Copies of this chain bind each other. A is one copy, B any other.
């Protein structure tokens, strides 16, 4: 396929900058809220392939972006490994059990080569519906981020239990990270086999580690995953807040570096060793008026330059964003002539 987004990811020059929206982009749409009600629970939406396929396709119809991303959640991996979660309204995910010691680590299983079947099925449905118009992005949480949830049991500003684990039981931490990484590899390879044409790793909690800890507890596992997946499809590494580690991320065997909105574009260009960059408009910008959104989007495009760039927000959309504002962002990118 001659997909615009994949050409940009692979470092080819493109006639215009491709654009897509981070996971759960659909949640600003009224049709998503209907679907969410129909599904009863968030987890049921994630685990029912027909429903998650529909949630994947909704933002494609609404915004005409250059790629779809499979609708899912990063916590499906810990769940499949033996740590089920509940999504609590206004609070976020809570894991029923957490990892405390060696016995807990021994007990959890590695996801095998079959991956996660409901995700595979959803990917097949979406792939069929897309009919090769645009590529489908598969994804997984990065090992450190999944580790953080598996120890902490829920979202946290500082994940002090997870970080305490790194400092007090580093060898065990590596054992767990290794099991997670093997699971992520199998999970993503299965996604690719079912139709994902590119994959993104979300290291959402990268920004709470010191550069030294990131180097020890995240980079080697990202490397294992990128090494395997890059033989099949382009890989995007999105490590939120990992400014101090950008040069380490740049030398991973991956294709694209995702940038959040706090990253300085010029510095990122300098450090990224010619890799394609993705991002990085502040999702809060979409609260502004249309004129401001257009202006700031164009300024961002000019800063990144016309090639080696995939336009996106620097994070997911906030649920109370107006649909028209999202369209304005996408259309400004698509209409931009440098």
Contacts and interface: CB of A to CB of B under 8 A. Distances in A.
A9 to B, nearest CB: 24
Contact of A264 (B208, B211, B314): B211
Contact of A261 (B210, B267, B289): B210
Contacts of A213: 282
A166 B287 CA distance: 10
Q: Give this chain's copy count.
A: 2
- The A interface is mostly helix, strand or loop, or mixed, namely helix
A241 interface: yes
Interface stretch (A76-84, A108-116, A156-164, A327-335): A156-164
B318 A287 contact: no
Interface string A260-272: 0111100100000
B243 A210 contact: no
Name, among A207, A244, A318, the residue most crowded by chain B CB atoms within 10 Å (CB to CB). Answer: A244
A2 interface: no
Contact of A262 (B157, B160, B244, B282): B244
Interface in A138-169: 157-158, 160, 163-164, 166-168
Interface in A240-271: 241, 243-244, 261-264, 267
Given A244-B267, A284-B163, A262 B168 contact: no
17 contacts: A158-B318, A160-B284, A160-B287, A163-B287, A164-B287, A167-B284, A167-B287, A207-B241, A207-B262, A209-B262, A210-B282, A211-B262, A241-B262, A243-B243, A243-B244, A244-B263, A244-B264
Interface of A: 157-158, 160, 163-164, 166-168, 207-211, 213, 241, 243-244, 261-264, 267, 282, 284-285, 287-289, 292, 314, 318
